[in-house]
Amino acid sequence: MAVDPQVVVNIASEFTGKKAFTQAETATTKLGKTTKNLGKTLAKTFSVAAVLAFGRAVARAFSDAQKEAALLANSLDSINLAFAAPFIGQFLDKLALATGKAGGDLTNAFIKLSQATGDATTAQKLLQTALDISGATGKDLQSVSVALGKAFQGETTALAKLGIGYTTAELQGVKFDELLKLLNSRFGGAAAKAADTYAGKLARIGQAADLAKEKIGEGFVDGLEESGVSVEEFQEAIINLGTNIGRALGKITAFAGKIGEEFDKLKDNPVINLLLKISETVGALKGLKALGGLFNSGPADDPAKIRSAARLRREIYRQEQENLKKNLTLTKALTKEKKDQLALDKAALALGKGEDIFDLDKIQVQAALLAKQDEINKLGVNATDQQKLQLANDITRLSIKKTMAELEDAIAAKDVEAATRLAKKLNLDLAILGALQNQEFKLADINKILETFKPKKLIDIDNLDEALLLLAKMAGLKININPNLALNPNVPITPITPITPITPKIPATNVTGQVATLTNLRAATSTGTGINFLLKEHIDTLTDAISNNALNALGDEQARLRAMGIFDTAGIGAGFDVAGFRRGEERGNTYNVNINAGVIGNEDGVALVVQRAILDLERKGDPLRYTGGL
Amino acid sequence: MPTELRGAIEARKALRKFTPDLSKELQKEMAALLKPIVTVARGFIPATVLSGWSKAEASNTNYRQFPRFDAAAAKRGIGYRTAPSKVNRNGFRALARIANVSAAGAIYETAGRLNPQGKAQGPVVDRYVNGVYDKTTASGKQYSNSLNPNAGKQFIDALNGTGQIVDANNQTGAGRRSRKMKGRAIYKAWAEDGGKTNAAVIKAIEKTKIIFNNNFKSVA
């Protein structure tokens, strides 16, 4: 039954998203794009707007440069090198001019590398290598920097994925210093060559223009501040300008059909285009003048500046060393942790593979089959190949199950060594199982597999002599009373003669015969009858009597009596006089025996009493012996 | 206003997938918490409200009639759900609900919630029929369609005679309160509960989540 949302108490609700929100978001994005396109169209169409766009561009360039500088400072601050930010900024600007790469790209790349290495100098070196690789392979600088940063931390997969001609295995096999040498030998100078091409030179000029824009923007903001016009006032002026332009556009749109054509003509007019280009070039040149200050920041032989720079270099070196130490410790810990995790992950992966194959019901069925096919388990000559194959398959499955259980325990206990070993075993078993299921194994291989699963042989009749010899050998080695034996290992070891079993006085064969007779008699009686029960008791008594324990106990008794000279031999020393021994024990004691004869009557009376007693006994039984006698 | 949880739906899914027993246990626990509220709410349904409302509906009509009030059916219609609901139009899913699903029960629950004096009749408007303009009363869902201008008020007064509408929204602070937590049966029971069951249900879910996470950690 449907629930009316008006008549329901919702308990513990969760917000899971709303379709309308997504639609609104998409619509906003579309509107943004449309607006942007409209802006572009208008900027192209109206030259006044193009001039304004240039103004905005320089301001944005300056703003972006400020953001990049702040980002760089923050990044360097995280590795305690914030004080070096201005110098690194200059380095990146020069690098941008030299290579034609965008300053923002270089800054981002440098930030990634400095975060990975924790060392500005190494980051600078790696940035150069990254530029070379980027120039040679055409990959973007950001991806190359990230990959190099990861390689520095020991993860070379990303670097290999760049397609630089080395596999992950090759890169993992070398240390980072060697890897850097390899990369430099292969890609070194690629960035310089790229910069020397026509496109590279154009990019460098473009970069200079960008820097100029930044400087123009900086100058523009400074100039605005110096002029005494507040930013708010300037904003208001711009908004007013926008309003006026909007009005003008509204009027123009009304005549768009005709006026549009006129603007298109104006746009194609070479004179107007030339004027626009001149205005942009002048702006760029002004920016370049401001840029000149970057390279001529003061005389190089100023002693104060030299000392300051030296101090700074020392400070940078000291900080970098500290960072290096920290990174080393961290890297070691991370490597160990990663290694352990990798091993556990591999084990878990193997376990996952095993779970796909394992089928509890199937294994149970196969285990039942295994029990029934006990004779096949011995792989007698009568077993067919198909039976052997099936058997090997089943046993391997069981082994997989066992290993999986052990592996689960090892993973739970975080025992890396055991997990690794068991994972290997599991993989091996799985491979065998896979091969068996494909029936690609030869019979000899199947026999080999089955042999590995056979239980270890214990001592039985076949190997009893061999086992006794081995035991004797072990005993001889451990309890060696013959010094020559120990000194001369060539002397053969004489096996210990086994103890002769004590022969009982009563031949067991007689008793065995008795048991056989009684058993035959019992077989002739009905089960549950008294005689049947009595015969069983006798048989049990006799059987117990000829048991090994009973015979051994009897032998012990006889040995003791024999030693005392009271059995069948004279004994050791003088004979033992039991009666004399008892008398001696009781010597000095006086024993008085009193016999109370009571009243003696006539013989008939006594006979009558005895007769009555017998009759009562027959009628009523003996109440003293049987509870509830009849 | 229902309390918002985060990740509860995912937690329920995970419970059902990995520990079905725990999931069932949670449902049982939630059911045990919600059942008393349902019992109390059913107690607020009167045996009769208006004698005419309980009369049998006319047969052979080609429109949906005003539903007949049957106290037993209205009581049966009050129940609880412990399975997560569908997403409502505001993007929310409820993990547990107490609902009044019978039509007559829902009317008893909410009548007078929006218009305590009943809906007014529509205004008199011109009507053009067969070439002649005529005066008529506007009709529609927003108006009372009865010939009796006081029908709505009389109906609501009769319902109020058996049970008053109670606001179960106990939220404090700024902002407009929704009228949608007001009613005579389930909302009244919910208001009387004072949020104890709500807290207990959330606690049960959170507790189960913790047990599940602990189990999962111990296995992993």
Would you state the pLDDT for residue A495? 59
B87 → closest Cβ in A8, A16, A21: A16
* Per-residue CA distances from A533 to A55, A510, A529, A544, A547 (Å): 123, 22, 6, 16, 21
Let me know if A228 is exposed, middle or buried by CB neighbors in 10 A (0-12, 13-18, 19+). Answer: exposed
Phi, psi of A2 (to 5 degrees): -70, 150
**B-interface mutation test, from A4, A10, A15, A345, most B Cβ less than 10 A away:** A10
Q: How far is A490 from chain B (nearest CA, A)?
A: 59
A13 → closest Cβ in B34, B77, B93: B93
B198 → closest Cβ in A7, A11, A15: A11
If you measure CA to CA, which chain A residue comes closest to B106? A7
CA A47-A48-A52 angle, to 5 degrees, is 115
Counting every residue, how long is chain B? 220
CB contact under 8 A, B205 and A12: yes
Helix residue ranges, H only, A46-117 = 47-78, 85-99, 103-117
A7 → closest Cβ in B34, B89, B100: B100
Residue A494: pLDDT over 80 = no
- Of A352, A468, A452, A351, the C-alpha closest to A396 is A452
Would you state the pLDDT for residue A312? 78
- More reliable by pLDDT, A229 or B103: B103
Structure tokens at A347: 């084990």
d(CA B37, CA B190): 7
- Of B63, B150, B163, B65, the C-alpha closest to B115 is B150
Helix residue ranges, H only, A438-498 = 443-453, 464-478, 483-487
The DSSP secondary structure of A545-593, one letter per residue, reads: HTSHHHHHHHHHHHHHHHHTT-SSS--SSSPP-HHHHHHHHHTT-----
Type of residue at A276: L
Q: How far is A408 from chain B (nearest CA, A)?
A: 9
Q: How far is A434 from chain B (nearest CA, A)?
A: 28
List CB contacts (< 8 A) between B26 and chain A: none
CB contact under 8 A, B186 and A12: no
CB A263 within 8 A of CB A256: no
Q: How far is A468 from chain B (nearest CA, A)?
A: 49
d(CA A111, CA A130): 13
List CB contacts (< 8 A) between B181 and chain A: 9
CB contact under 8 A, A15 and B92: yes
Structure tokens at A592: 């008085």
The DSSP secondary structure of A227-263, one letter per residue, reads: TT--HHHHHHHHHHHHHHHHHHHHHHHHTHHHHHHHH
At A269 the three-state DSSP class reads coil
- HSE-CB for B169 with a 13 A CA cutoff: 14
* Confidence band of A224 (pLDDT split at 50, 70, 90): low
At B218 the three-state DSSP class reads helix
Q: How far is A545 from chain B (nearest CA, A)?
A: 58
pLDDT, average across residues A519-526 = 82
Q: How far is B47 from chain A (nearest CA, A)?
A: 20
List CB contacts (< 8 A) between B101 and chain A: 1-4, 7
Average pLDDT score over chain A: 68
Q: pLDDT tens for residues A366-403?
A: 565 566 556 555 656 566 677 777 777 777 777 777 77
Q: How far is A329 from chain B (nearest CA, A)?
A: 28
d(CA B197, CA B191): 11
Q: How far apart are the first and last CA of chain B?
A: 38
Would you state the pLDDT for residue A48? 47
Q: pLDDT tens for residues A262-307?
A: 555 555 655 555 555 544 554 444 444 433 333 344 444 577 777 7
Would you state the pLDDT for residue B159? 94
Structure tokens at A513: 């015969």
If you measure CA to CA, which chain A residue comes closest to B182? A7
- More reliable by pLDDT, B107 or A50: B107
High-pLDDT (> 90) share of chain A, %: 0
Would you state the pLDDT for residue A630? 43
d(CA A336, CA A259): 73
Neighbours of A192 (CB within 10 A): 15
- Of A131, A119, A124, A107, the C-alpha closest to A183 is A131
pLDDT, one tens digit for every residue, chain B (220 residues): 455 556 677 777 777 777 778 888 888 898 999 999 999 999 999 998 898 999 988 888 888 888 999 999 999 999 998 888 888 877 788 888 899 899 999 999 999 998 999 998 888 888 888 888 888 888 888 899 888 989 999 999 999 999 999 988 876 666 666 778 899 999 999 999 888 888 888 888 888 878 877 776 665 4
Is residue B99 less than 8 Å (CB to CB) from chain A? yes
A547: left (phi over 0), alpha (psi -120 to 50) or beta: beta
* Confidence band of A486 (pLDDT split at 50, 70, 90): very low
d(CA A151, CA A166): 13
List CB contacts (< 8 A) between A6 and chain B: 106, 110, 180
pLDDT, average across residues A40-66 = 56
List CB contacts (< 8 A) between B97 and chain A: 3, 8-11
Type of residue at A179: L
CB contact under 8 A, A4 and B106: yes
Helix residue ranges, H only, chain B = 8-18, 20-43, 71-76, 103-110, 151-162, 186-193, 196-219
- HSE-CB for A397 with a 13 A CA cutoff: 21
Structure tokens at A471: 């035991």
Q: pLDDT tens for residues A5-38?
A: 778 888 877 777 666 566 656 766 765 665 566 5
CA B124-B129-B131 angle, to 5 degrees, is 125
- Of A391, A425, A404, A412, the C-alpha closest to A359 is A404
Q: In what order do the strands lie in the sheet with B78-81?
A: A8-15, B92-100, B78-81
Min mean pLDDT across A85-94, A569-578, B185-194 is at A569-578
**A-interface mutation test, from B100, B109, B178, B208, most A Cβ less than 10 A away:** B100
- Of A210, A88, A184, the C-alpha closest to A131 is A184
Is residue B202 less than 8 Å (CB to CB) from chain A? yes
- Of B176, B75, B203, B118, the C-alpha closest to A11 is B203
d(CA B67, CA B102): 9
Residue A258: pLDDT over 70 = no
Residue A570: pLDDT over 70 = no
Counting every residue, how long is chain A? 630
Is residue B204 less than 8 Å (CB to CB) from chain A? no
pLDDT, average across residues A579-600 = 66
- Of B42, B59, B202, B173, the C-alpha closest to B108 is B42
Type of residue at A107: T
Phi, psi of A489 (to 5 degrees): -70, -10
- The pTM of this model reads 0.33
Is residue B33 less than 8 Å (CB to CB) from chain A? no
Would you state the pLDDT for residue A285? 44
d(CA B14, CA B213): 10
Type of residue at A85: A
Is residue B201 less than 8 Å (CB to CB) from chain A? yes
Beta bridge partners of B96: A11
Structure tokens at A627: 């509870």
Helix residue ranges, H only, A296-359 = 303-357
CB contact under 8 A, B109 and A7: yes
Structure tokens at A587: 């010597």
Type of residue at B95: L
Chain B, window 73-92: residues with a beta carbon less than 8 angstroms from a chain A beta carbon? 77, 81, 85, 87-92
The alpha carbon torsion through B38, B40, B42, B44 (nearest 10 deg) reads -140
Give the contacts of B87 (CB within 8 A, at least 6 positions apart). A16, A17, A18, B93
Min mean pLDDT across A220-229, A299-308, A606-615, B102-111 is at A220-229
Structure tokens at A4: 């009316």
High-pLDDT (> 70) share of chain A, %: 50
Would you state the pLDDT for residue A290? 39
CB contact under 8 A, B183 and A16: no
CB contact under 8 A, A14 and B9: yes
| ipTM rounded to 2 decimals | 0.80
CB contact under 8 A, B99 and A4: yes
CB B84 within 8 A of CB B104: no
At A184 the three-state DSSP class reads helix
**B-interface mutation test, from A13, A409, A411, most B Cβ less than 10 A away:** A13
